[in-house]
Amino acid sequence: MHIHLLLVEDNLDLATTVIEYLAFSSIVCDHASNGQAGLNLALSQHYDVILLDIMLPRLDGQQLCERLRQQGVQTPILMLTSLDALSDKLASFAAGADDYLVKPFELAELVARIRALSMRRSGQTSRLQVDDLVMELSTRKVSRAGQELHLSPICWSLLEHLMRASPEPVSRERLEAKVWGDEPPDSNTLKVHMHRLRKAVDKPFGRPLIHTLPGVGIQVKPHA
């Protein structure tokens, strides 16, 4: 299963090295070279993990982390920095960071920390809810308006990723990567499973929660 990550780092040589290494571990990486660009990406896209340098132009990593938490972004954040004083670490954790890695670091350790953060987030969340649609991750039950829904494993996985990203849309390519990994299905497979998912989640209730945004992706959005 792929991990979608945001790297905010102004050292382009380091950023290139990190991005190329992560690609070998099936970690897809978007990059921003300053704090403001990183903030814009983090608020407009859904990521599994965010990596932040502290010493960034326009908006430093700690300020960026704090703003994301103020905006309700709960994505795990790992600070990457050459600042190794305890005060810097404490300030980063106070801003909302989940982990801290001092430069220079081993790339293998970075991958291990990214994977741990990605799994930790899913482990912390036991219940997802959008409007009257509720997914209980611990018991693997999903219901709408109190009525239990019966989903295939693939439909369950699709709905989970859509609900985690809600209300942001998820591109078809990202959905396919999340569910099928390195073996993407043929062009009609996602369409077939989404039809089944809509039939289970929306059709009996009259109010659609699953929406297709042409050219953008699919979203699960609370009913207005």
Q: What is the mean pLDDT of residues 1-24?
A: 91
Per-residue pLDDT tens digits for 117-156: 886 654 345 678 888 999 887 788 999 999 999 999 999 9
Residues 147 and 110 in one domain: no
Residues 118 and 136 in one domain: no
Give the residue from 88, 109, 124 where a domain finishes: 124
- 111 C-beta neighbours (distance < 10 Å), count: 18
31 and 19 in contact (C-beta within 8 Å)? yes
Res. 109 pLDDT band, cuts 50 70 90: very high
Both tokens of residue 150?
């019966």
Residues 134 and 207 in one domain: yes
Neighbouring-strand partners of residue 143: 134, 148
The residue length of the chain stands at 224
Alpha carbons 170 and 180: distance in angstroms, whole number: 15
Cα separation values, 70 from 4, 29, 95, Å: 22, 24, 10
Residues 15 and 101 in one domain: yes
**What residue numbers bound the domain in which 140 lies?**
127-220
Residues 51 and 109 in one domain: yes
Quick one: 21 exposed, middle or buried, by C-beta within 10 A (0-12, 13-18, 19+)? middle
pTM of the model: 0.57
* Residue 123: per-residue pLDDT: 39
160 and 136 in contact (C-beta within 8 Å)? no
* Residue 138: per-residue pLDDT: 73
Residues 166 and 119 in one domain: no
15 and 33 in contact (C-beta within 8 Å)? yes
